[in-house]
Every structure is written in C-alpha cells, then in structure tokens.
Amino acid sequence: MAPPEAVPQAPEAAASTASPVLEARSVSKRFPGVVALDDVSFSLRAGETHALVGENGAGKSTLIKVLTGVYRPDGGDLRMAGRPVRFARPFEAQQAGISTIYQEVNLVPLMSVARNIFLGREPRNRFGLIDFARMHRETTELLDGFGVRVDPRRPLHTLGIGTQQMVALARAVSVNAQVVIMDEPTSSLEPREVETLFRVIENLRGQGIAVLYVSHRMDELYRICDRVTVLRDGRHIHTGDLADLDRMQLVSMMLGRDMAEVRRSGVTSFAAEGHEAARTPVLTATGLSSRHHLHDVSLSLYAGEVLGLGGLLGSGRSETAKALSGALHLDAGELTVDGTALNRLTPAAAIRAGISLLPEDRKAEGIVPGLSVRENIVLAAMPRLSRAGVVSRAKQDRIVDIFMKRLRIKASSPEQKVGELSGGNQQKVLLARWLCLEPKVLLLDEPTRGIDVGAKAEVQSLIDDLAREGLAVLLISSDIEELIEGADRIVVLRGGAVAGELAGDDVAEDRLLEVLADHAPAPEDKSPAAQEDPR
C-alpha cells in the first residue's frame, strides 16, 4: 500500500504547498440531450481529501469518468502535476497513478475475490506463471486490513454488495497511486465498515495521497474532507474549505434553494411521531428457512407501520426481504397475506398478493438498462395498464408523468434509457415501479442508497406518508439514523435468524447497537471463536 512518492507531511501543509496533482480545466461533456458537464474546473491537491457533492445527476460521476479516461471530454483539458495529460483509456489513467472506485461496483462477478483484486498485476512465480498461493495469501492479508474475512477463492458474485464494495476498495487502495477517487464508496457499507474506510483514508492522507470523495452523506463529508467542490446541473458552483461552510449552506448550494427552505428538514425527513398500526397483520411470515441463508425467521407486518430490519452485513436482511417477495427458494416456512396463505411463492404471486420488493442491487436486479424510463416504471404494472394484452400508452403516460414529478426523476424525457440516468435517478425509477403497483406491503431494501439529500428527504417522507396511508413498509437500511427514525419497530437479524426485536422506546441507536453487538462476532475480530463460521 506504499505510495510511489510518499510525502509524509501533515495534510494541511501538503495541501497548501503542493501544486495540484490532478486538475481539470473547463471540461465539458455532452450526452445526447444532456449537458452533463458544462465548463467545469476542478483541482485536487496532494494529501487532501476533497469532497465532490451535488444532487443526483449533477455530474459527479461524469466528472470522475472524464478525469479517469472513461469519457473523452468534449472540451477542456486535464493536467497532472501541472503537465497536460490525455487519457485515452482508464488503463492510462491508472498508469499515471489514478486509482478509482466507480459508483457501480465494477468488478468481475464470476471471478474470485483474489483474482479480482489482482487482475492485471498478478504475482508471478519464477516461471512467469501466476502464483496463486501468494495471491490468495496476500488477498487474505489485504482484506484483513479492511476487516473483511472471506475465502479469497470465492466468486465475487456470491458476496453481498457491501462486501463487494470492500473488495473494490481493497483493490483500489492496494495499487500504488497518487490519487484515489471514490464515487459513493459508503452507500452500501455498514457503520463499522465505514469506520474502517475512514481509517484507510486517514492513512492515505498521511502518505500524501489525494483522495476525491463523493458521497451524499453529509456527516461523512464533515468528518473526513478538507475541501469541497459543489456541482449543480453540470456546472461548477463552488470550491472551498469545508470548514467554512455549514451543512445548511452546503445543502442549499447543492440544491440551489434558499436556506430557509432547506432548514425545515431535519436529519431525516421522517415525522417525529410514529404511525398508527392496524391490529391484525397484513403479512405474517412463520419459520422461513432456506439452507445457508435463513433459519426459522418469523415476523409480522401491520398495515400502517414501518418495520425496520436491522443487522450487520450478511445477517440475512436482504434474504428475508427476498423470501417475503417470493424471490428466494424456501425449504420451509409459510407466508400469509391478510389471513390467506400463499402456497406457490413466486415474485408474480407475491406481487398479485400486494407485496412489492425494491431490490438491493439496482444494476443486477433492478433496472433494465436498455429500456426507457417509462418502460422501467411500468414494467411490473404492465398487465394492469393494458387491455387484452395491448398496452395503453395513455394510461402509461399518466402514471409515468405522475411518478416522474412526484419523485422528481431527472431525465431528458420519459423515453431516455434508464442506463443513461445517474445512479440516484435510477433508484427513483425503481421506486416508482413499485409504487405504481399500489402494493399493500412494500419491502424496501436500501431505498435511499445513492440518492442525494433532497431526494433522500423526499423518499423518507414518502415512506412516512405511505405508512400513514395504511401501507405496511419493511425498511432495510444500513444508515442507522434512517432506520431508527424511520421505523416504528425493528427486527434484528443475525446469522440468518431473528436475534431480537425493538419496539417503542427501545427503537434507539444505543439499543440497536447493543443488540447488534450482543453476541455477534465482529468480522474483524480475529479471535478463534470468530473464525468459526456459525453457519
């Protein structure tokens, strides 16, 4: 992890003396129908941690892709250490010492963890062949540093999204780089992993490495970033020391709205008071078991409440949600909706029964990238929006219009391909897909992942409203604040089994952490007990 040119200076000193390691001068980038970057200038100094913020679709990821040779800018130029550079391919940016974690986890799912980490720079033995023993050893060591314990031979796609993100981090940081760029690295991480990440960033800063950090989580920015650059609608709005701005100022800059308007929203946008839940459950799950995934999970969901699902990485929250929506093969267990048992559990049956799941992995399980915003929204509702198998454009347009407005989906038109939208807007499209089904039960697996402050607030108050209107909501969130403030009740999972339930006044951060920590061996805990996989 040693940088090529270690500059063991204090961060401030490094930041003030060194010339920018990486610089973009008036870059522009257009896509058909959108100006994603409009004359944006930006500079990154050695040893600083620089926040890049802006709403969904502001152009953050595009700027990063321009900086790293994924996109060729339509105008403007790049410099490294004062010298003009042009990257024809990401490969060249990497050669120049820029290491990047892109927003969508960009590893090869079918390949093993170790192969992913070492792709392109595999250790060789003396015959010039790949030395797998060493590769696996080094992978284990490297991941240990990140608090991740996983068999280096395991195919990446068998890991949860969070773990995959840690693997991507490990890869990025283990390359000798002068610049490390992270596009929303924490959106799928647990609090504890976030801490690990911050330690890593601290470490990089100590080595004089510049970090460009994108996140929608304000508290994170204030904890680790020195300076900030704000983008809005593809334009550069502001660059300066983060310490000079308070949260409100920052948010209002991002949203382009005035302070008073912004001030009204608190940490989260959930209303302070809880919801009035019905007496009888809409959905009851008893004894859900699926080999290796779930063990005898039982829970009930009441109309009008938000049930939180707590747990650490890999505790089985996503699996539970999938099981409830018919997307996971169950070895045992029963599901009843409004008192009637569902016997053949498939996603289609669950949807018919009024259960909708917003899946966790947006790219793999959510969007159909080649289809338009409109079609992605109506995908699940199509049968209802057609007559005799013929789709009704008018009906579709009405729904799509409503939801694009309500969720403020930013697209050049409903006909734009979803694959071209920014990450946050893709998430909103998915939310719209499930909301337009008018479900009784809404299962939300990380609904606010990767969406900006404004939109997050909207989604949160939407969840609130939905519960108030009588919907039963299951909320999975790695954002503890969101979980605590949003949920009326929290079921905590551990190792695929229910470890406890919090209700009433117990729905509080310290209580949750208590249950989480109770007998859960921390992943980074290297005690012999922790090595035993309980499953």
Partner 1 sequence: MNETTPAPAAPAAPAPAVPRTDTPGGKGPRPAAASEPGTRARVAELLQRQGVLAVLLTVVIAASFIYPTFASLDNARGITIQASFLAVVALGMTMVIITGGIDLSVGSVFALGGVLAAWASQYGFLAALLVPLVACGAIGLLNGLLIARGNMAPFIVTLATLLGARGLLLAITDEGATTYLVPKDSAFGELGQGSVWGFGYPILVALVLFGAGGLVLQRTSFGQTLFAVGGSSDAATLMGLPVARTKILVYTLSGLLAGLAGALNAARLSSGVTIVGVGMELDAISAVVIGGTLLIGGAGSISGTLWGVLLLAVIQNLINQIGSLNSSYQSVVSGGFLIVVVVAQRYLARSRRST
Partner 2 sequence: MTQAAVSPPVEPAQPAEPGKPARSTGPLARLRDPAWYQEYGVYVAVAVVLLFNALFTDHFMTADNFRTQLVQVAPIVIVALGMALVIGTEGVDLSVGSTMALAAAFLPLYLGYGLVPALVVSLLAGAVVGAVNGTLVSLIGLQPIVATLALFVGGRGLALVMADGQLKQIVNPDLLSLGTGSFLGVPLVVWIAGVLAVAVAFLVQRTTFGRQIVAVGGNRSAAALAGLPVKRVLIGVYVLCGVLAALAGVLATARLTASDPSSLGTLMELSAITAVVVGGTPLNGGSIRVLGTVAGALLMQLLRATLVKHDLPDSTAQIAQAAIIIAAVYVARERRSR
Ligand X SMILES: Nc1ncnc2c1ncn2[C@@H]1O[C@H](COP(=O)(O)OP(=O)(O)OP(=O)(O)O)[C@@H](O)[C@H]1O
Q: By rule CB under 6 A, what count of residues binds ligand X?
A: 40
Please identify, among the stretches 118-126, 219-227, 449-457, 497-505, the one whose residues bind partner 1 according to the rule CB under 8 A.
118-126
Residue number with CB closer to ligand X (149 or 384): 149
> What is the greatest pairwise CA distance in the chain?
71
Q: x/- binding map, residues 461-490, to ligand X, per CB under 6 A?
A: -----------------x------------
Residue 160, interface with partner 1 (CB under 8 A)? yes
Stretch that binds partner 1, among 153-161, 449-457, 466-474, 500-508 (CB under 8 A): 153-161
For partner 2, how many residues bind (rule: CB under 8 A)? 64
Tell me the per-residue interface mask from 346 to 365 with partner 2, x by CB under 8 A, - otherwise.
xxx-xxx----x-x----xx
Strands laid side by side in the 281-290 sheet? 294-302, 281-290, 332-337, 340-341
Is residue 401 a contact point for partner 2 (CB under 8 A)?
A: yes
**Nearest residue to 370 via CA among 416, 433, 426, 325:** 416
- Contact string 117-156 vs ligand X (x = CB under 6 A): -------------------------------xxx------
Nearest CA among 317, 298, 292 for reference residue 190 = 317
**Whole-angstrom distance, CA of residue 153 vs CA of residue 113:** 6
Residue 400 binding partner per list partner 2, ligand X, partner 1, none, with a CB distance cut-off of 5 to 8 Å that depends on partner kind? partner 2
Q: Which residues pair with 276 in a beta bridge?
A: none
**First-last CA distance in the chain:** 33
Nearer to ligand X, 63 or 245 (CB): 63
Chain center to CA of 512: 21
Is 31 a binder of ligand X (CB under 6 A)?
yes
Q: Identify which of residues 171 and 489 has a Cβ nearer to partner 1 in the complex.
A: 171
Going through 46-122 in order, the beta strands assigned E by DSSP cover 49-53, 75-80, 83-85, 98-101
CB 210 within 8 A of CB 9: no
130 vs 380 by CB, closer to partner 2: 380
Beta bridge partner(s), residue 501 = 491
Determine which residue in the list 161, 245, 330, 520 makes contact with ligand X, applying CB under 6 A.
161
CA atoms within a 13 Å half-sphere pointing along the CA-CB vector of 2: 3
CA distance 73 to 66: 6
- Cα 395 from Cα 420, distance rounded (Å): 25
Residue 35, class by beta-carbon neighbours within 10 Å (0-12 exposed, 13-18 middle, 19+ buried)?
A: middle
Out of 40, 80, 159, 455, the only residue in the binding site for partner 1 (CB under 8 A) is: 159
Amino acid at 10: A
* Distance of closest approach, residue 354 Cβ to ligand X, in angstroms: 23
Name the residue nearer to partner 2 (CB basis): 211 or 357: 357
Show the binding pattern over residues 53-72: x = contacts ligand X (CB under 6 A), - = does not.
Answer: -x-xxxxxxx----------
- Considering the complex, what minimum distance in angstroms separates the CB of residue 515 from partner 2? 30
The dihedral of CA 311, 314, 317, 320: what is its sign? negative
Residue 79 CB: number of other CB atoms within 10 A? 16
Minimum distance, C-beta of residue 327 to partner 1, in the bound complex (Å): 5
> Which partner in ligand X, partner 2, partner 1, none is near 271 (CB below 5 to 8 A by kind)?
none
Q: What angle do CA 193, 197, 198 make, to 5 degrees?
A: 115
CB of 185 to partner 2, least distance (A): 24
Question: Judged by CB under 8 A, how many residues of this single chain contact partner 1?
Answer: 49
Residues 530 and 42: their CA atoms lie apart, in Å, by 45
Residues that bind partner 2 (CB under 8 A): 30-35, 70-72, 233-234, 325, 327, 346-348, 350-352, 357, 359, 364-371, 375, 379-380, 382-383, 386, 389-391, 397-406, 408-414, 433, 435-436, 438-439, 466, 469-471
Residues that bind Mg ion (CB under 5 A): 61, 103, 317-318, 360, 423
